[in-house]
Structures are given as C-alpha cells and as structure tokens.
Structure 1
Amino acid sequence: MQNRGAIKFFAIAFALVCLYQLSFTYVTTSVEKDAKAYAVNETAQNLAKELAGDNEILRKYNLDSIAKARENYYLDSISNEVVYNIFIAEYTYKEAKEREINLGLDLKGGMNVVLEVSVGDIIKALSGNSDDPVFKEALALTYQKQKNSNKDFVTLFGEAFQEVDPNAQLASIFLFEFRDKGITTNSTNEEVIAVIRKEAEDAIDRSFQILRTRIDRFGVAQPNIQKLATTGRILIELPGIKDPDRVRKLLQGTAKLEFWETYNFDEVYQYFDEANALLRTEDIDQKEEVTDTEAIETEAQDG
C-alpha cells in the first residue's frame, strides 16, 4: 500500500510538471494567435487594397507583406509585457517563449539552412594565392574528387597534390604563411597538410561561433546549430521563424571592420581655440555692420 501511494504521488507530481511545461506553449500559442489576428485585421486589408487598386494579385502580395510586418510589430511590442501570471510568478512573452516546448521544424515549421565554409578558398588564401601550377592543378582536381568522395577537403587536397606531382613540396608554397607554425623548407607534405587541417578547422569553428552569436542576437527560441563532420558545413534549424528574409540577410551578412583616426584633445585644442576666436571676430564685425546700417537709416529718416 505504501508503494502504491508513492507511485500515485510521483504520477501526480509528474503530471503537474508536464502541465506546467505545456502551459507555456499554450500561452505563447495564444499570444501568437492574437498577433496573427491583429496582422490581418480590417485596417491591414484596407491598406493592402488601397495600395493595390484593382490588382488582386498585388493586393494579396501587399496583404502578406503587411501582415508579416504587423505580426512582428505586435510580438515585439509585447515582448516584455507579462502574459502569464501563476500568482507565485509572472512571465513576459519573451520569458514564456524561452520556456515553451520545442516542437521542432516538423511540427512547428520554420527554417532549415545548411551553410558551407569554402575550405578550398581557405587553402588558397593560406598559400598567399599561389600561382604555382602544381598547386592550382591539385586544387582543381580536389574539387572534382569532392563530388564523389566522403573524405574531407584537406585530405583530398593532399592526395590530389601527391597525384599531380609526387616530387612537389607543399612547404615551398606555404612556407611564408606557416613559418611561425614550425614549417620549414625541410617539412614533409604530411606536416604541411596537418597545419592546413588545423587552420581550416579553426576557420570553421570561428564561422560557427559567429553564426551562433548572430542567431542569439536575433532572439530565436531553441535554435539547433551543429557542425557536420568532415564536410565544412554548418546546419542551422530555426523553429517557428517568422521572417526568413531577415534571417537570410543576417546569416549572409559580411562583417566589416573600419579604422578611424582619432586625436587627443590636447592635440586639437589650439585649432578649436583659433576657430572660436575667428567666429568671435566675425560676430563682432556683423554686429558693427548692423549698428552702422541702423545709424545710416536713422540719419536718413531725420533728414
């Protein structure tokens, strides 16, 4: 009897925990349903019709665009508002969204993207864009081999280079870039390939971290980001994404680093002082000119 009571207790506790977790999904679904209703209300439909005139296809296109914008606006506007109150705790829409059950792409829909880091371009850059004919032929052959092989690009490149010219040395091509990584003129091709592999893996890791940071800033709940082994590819799954075009631009964006020359204040102070003195002089001249003009007008009136 005691065991049966314990089983009932844990069963009830488990059911309550499940209901608690499911409640967040119910709340967010309800909010998103309201957002969809707001997105296509009479105001949106009238605006789409006004912009399209008698063109029905354009009206539908406008309504779809307006609806997406209005839905995103609605959800953004209530992101920090309390939408779920269980008396002992309050949750905003953003917090509830983070706690909802991950339905995945198959149940919720969303966006599935596979991005590939071009290892060939990395190798080319590491070589200093070498014009060595053996290197260029080996790189071209590697791309051909990759179509029918499961091996990683670096391994295929090593095989292709050996195939093109068994006596050629990779050290002579990569020596400048790898001189601080233990590569010398006497290094074997295997040693150079090992360094190339490490550099390529580091580049893929950096790309992975950059993409993760961008997606985290976008605010997608429960994204799935993973590296696909040996392919140089990164799989990204974004359940429930509402604006695929915005995500696409975010993922494809190129980082831009700018340098601006700056000065300490003591370096430019004298120029500010000179400019201030010049402006003060011009101001005095303008006031004197106004005074002279007023005096002339007064004399003319008296005359």
Structure 2
Amino acid sequence: MDRKWLWRALLFSFFGIFSVVYLLPTFAPSSLPGWYKGYFTKKVLLGLDLAGGVHLEYAIDTDSIIESQLDNWGEDVKGKLMEAYGEKDKENSEHFSIITRGNRLEITFKKEINQDFLTKATADYTDARDPKLHRVDTKDLTVFYAIDNEFTKDLEEKALVRAVDTIRDRVDEFGVASPEIYRKDDMIVVELPGLDKDSQESIKRIIMRSAHLEFKLVDSESQYMKEVAKYLRTTYGMDEAGIIQKAPYKGLVVVPDSYGARKGGDKNRTLYFQMDVGSRDLPVEQQQEFNRVRKVMDKLFREELPKAGLPVPQGREIGFERTVKHTDQGIPTAQKVIQSMILIRNTKVTGEYIVNAQVGYDQQGAAVVNARFNRTGGKYFGDLTGKHMGWKMAIKLDEWVESAPVIQDEIFENVQISLGVTGSQQERYREAEELVGVLRSGSLPAPLSKEMELNKGPSLGKDAIRRGTIAFIIGIILVVGFMIFYYRWSGLIAVSALGLNVTMMMAIMAAFEARLTLPGIAGIVLTLGMAVDANIIIFERIREELRLGKNPRAAIEAGYGRAFWTIMDSQITTAIAGIVLYEFGTGPIKGFAVTLIIGIITSVVTGVFFTRVVYDFVNSRKKLENLSI
C-alpha cells in the first residue's frame, strides 16, 4: 500500500498545530503562562487604519542642499585662486572675494579679472562634458556662475532618496514594527501605527533631527570678536560689570576666555548672553529661552553687524554654545548662558565618517555619546588635531555647538560628544540615546519641515475592525455553506483546507511582522475565494472523470493532474500582479499586496496539496466505491 501520503499528512499536521500555537499570543495573550510567552512573542500587527496612529508628511529643504554645495565649491575655488596668486597661507585674498547668493557663485576681483587663473580654478565645475556651474554674466569686475539645472535636479533627487532611507533607518533603530515610509511626489510620508503619544513624540523628534555633526576649529587668531566688542561698547554702552543694559541686547556681556591664544585658543571669542533661567531644571522652559536669545544674537550677527560694516569674515561662521557661566577663577555656576564663538567654516570631518556610537558617561556622571570614526574619518581627524594642538575644537550638532574642548593630542579614532547643559540627567540620557540612534542611521542631507500631521484615534480603528470582521465572517459563512451544500463530503475537505489556509496565512504575517490593514482584509477574502475556486476546478475535473466511467481513485488522480497547471497559471499571474502592487504601491496598496501574495502561497499549499493528502488518506483506509462530490 502506498504510504507516501503519511509523511505529507504529518507535515501538514505540524504546520497546522504550529500555526495555531504561534497565533495564540495574538488572540489569547492574557491566558498564556509566562514560559509560553518566552518562546512565542510575535503577534499579528494592525495597520494605521485599524490600530490608529499618526500619519506624517515632510518636505526637504532642497535650497539648503544647493547652498551647501555652492559653499563647498566656493571654498575650493577660493583655495585654488589664492594658490595661483601666491596667497596660500593667508586668511583672505588681496585680489578677489567670493560669496554665494541663492543658486549663484559670485567672484569679484579687486583690480582686474585674471581669466587664466579663473579658468583653471573653476575647471572641475565648468567642464562641458559634466557641467556643474555655468558662467552666466560678467558685470564690472564680478563674474557670476549659476548651478546647472540638470545637476540641481539630480542633487535634489539623490537627497530625497537618501532622506527616505535615513528616516527608515531611524525608525528601525527606534524599534517600530513595519512602518510605512515612502515618497509621494516631493514629499516624504511616514505612517506609524499603534504607537502611544510619548512614543510618537520621541520618534517625531528623531525624524526631524538633521543630526548634522561637524568638527570645526575655533578661530583663536581672528580679531573679529574684538571689533564686535568695540562696536557694542560704543553703540550700546556697558555698566561697570561689562553688561549691556539697553535693548535689544540687554544682558549681553563680553567676557574674555580664560585661555590665551593657542593655549586653549581664542580669548576674544566669548559673548555671553545672560539668561534668567537660574539653576531650575525645566527643560522645556530652558530650551524656549535658549531659542529666544539665539534669535536675538543671530539678528546681531546676520543683520546689524553687516550694516555697520562688520560682516562675519569670509570662510568663517558664528557658532553658539549652550553652557554655564564661570567665575573669574574658572568655577562653573548654575547660571545658563549662550556663548558665541567664531569658527573656521570649512571642514572635512563630519558625522558621515562615524561607524559606531553608544551612550556613555563623563567624569561628572553626565550622559555623553562615545563615537568611533572609520579609517577615512580617523585620518582626517588625526591630521586636523595633530596640526592644531592647543586650539579649541567645536563639536557642532545641527545648529548648536555642544562643546568646544581644547585639542591636547592627535585623535584618530574615538571622540566624545557632550550634550550641553539643558535638561535633567534623565532628559540628557534620553537625548544621548536618540543621538546614538540618528548617528548610526546617518544624518539627513538637509533639514525637514513637517507639512502635515494626521492622528487617527482608536475609535476609527475599532470601527474599521468591526466592519472588516463582519464582512469577513459573512463571506466565510456563505462560502462554507455553498461548498458543503454543493460538493457534500468533498466540500467539507475544501472547508478544512480553507481553515488551514487562514491559520497559516495569519501565522506567516505574524512571523514577518506584516501589518494587517483594511485593504489587507480584502486581500485575505480575495485569496480565500481563489482557494475555493481552485478546489472547484479540481472537483469539476474529478466529476468529469467519474462520468467517463473511471473509479474514484483513478478519477482523483486524473482530476488533480488536469487541474494542476490551470490553477498554477491563475495563481502565478495573480502573484505577479501582487508583486507589482507591492513594488510600486504605497500605504494601503502595499497592505493589500502583502496579504495577496502570502494568501496565494498558502492557497496553493492547502487547496491543492492538503486536499490531495486527505483523499489519499481516505483511499488508504478503505477502497472507495463511491465518491461524495
């Protein structure tokens, strides 16, 4: 007697029992013992339309990408021109100046345009085979270059792709199961189902954080801050303590650094803006006050000083550090201040070279981030620190300088990032954890702006679940009733295959953490209909063979043989459609495609192979004279 059916029956029994066991945490979590939950923890997750959650849409600031690119090119062209003029070791040229405005690079010569020097300096960007810049105008002694339109489009496209990948990595670091992150035209859509309010706020902070980490030298030899201090004293006056008492800069005090130039560098750099925050640990209020004062100081350097003939020197920028006031003896107090410093703008060392980061603690027990560079970043950082020992290195994260330690030795691999002075120890630890996550996932190519936020509450989810469940139950009852009524005992086999199909499908979804959405429920109903259709094709072929006079065993053999490729053709073509929907669809369409593809696989396994095993089992028990079909 043929016993091939036996191992198949055992295999299906195992899959059926295992699927039920795997699904128990989803349907009966509270009644399970502790040891059980230690082995089986995954559940069928619900999508945004069923569980509720948050729908976010972001736009990326492509203008800042272009400006940053032009700044880098401008620094490169400046270096080549200064080398051509023999001014390599000077801070600024006596022959020309370079500025960027919007999408233009402007080079102004002081006496005459040296065309030979200019052509060589811009050759890398104006090559006709791969143009990045076009010379668009010449007015007096100024030459104007505009960034190439095709290059701009390519830059923006790459930035969007990178932003989507970075956000996805950040959300994965946070541990959100099966988020939906995709592009919609020039927008980035993020759908996060099933998160509580605190988790939503945390992940929104993580997504929005540019995490643009830079290591820049504090320009300890610049005289610019002395000129600014002189202007402030003359224009606004100071009291005996050196504090300005007039608006809008009331409370701003010029304090020399306790270190001398190249011994901690930059005794001119510090402009403290006293803040009425005191020693209270109120993170939100502190941050609001820091932001308010930062805007005032930004206005000073961006608007008032340039009008007064004191623009920030070329190749330099102003950095702002949140720190605490120190006494004349260098002892820190509880008074929070913003400290401004002049930084050398161009840097080779950024967060893109960091390969690992983790939370640690400094000597005072405050949370810090310990980061490690890759080989290239380590080489750049080692060269930078080796050539500038005794200078200060500003560690700049997004718009704030987090710390500015003195370089005391060459550093090739590891760096420690402190996190300012705002917030409690717990808040700083949370910030350190978030920073570790974003550094591991990489920085965004440009800042994001949130264009839309839509919260879907649990009431919508419950309503969707109720309607989907009712539709599913009604559909199943009608299908089961028809199959048993029309195909009798064989219909019962098809119904049992249908039950195994649903169980296996849900277990697979739980295993891969695929989210069940309302369109996904429609996909399940559709695949169940296709599974029933496959059984109907088989049953009708068996009936045809019985009418030709074959015995039940031969009719079953021939019926399955004739129906197999017909079923496979329809399932394969539908699977191809599902793959296309998954690849190019978004949101709910993907949910439908996932359940469709999983359902097709389980439908073939249960509808064709499982039912055949049942027939073989019955045949092995007794010789069939008549077949109930």
- The two structures have a TM-score, normalised by structure 1, of 0.41
Please state which structure has a larger fraction of its residues in strand.
Answer: 2
Please state which structure has a larger fraction of its residues in helix.
Answer: 1
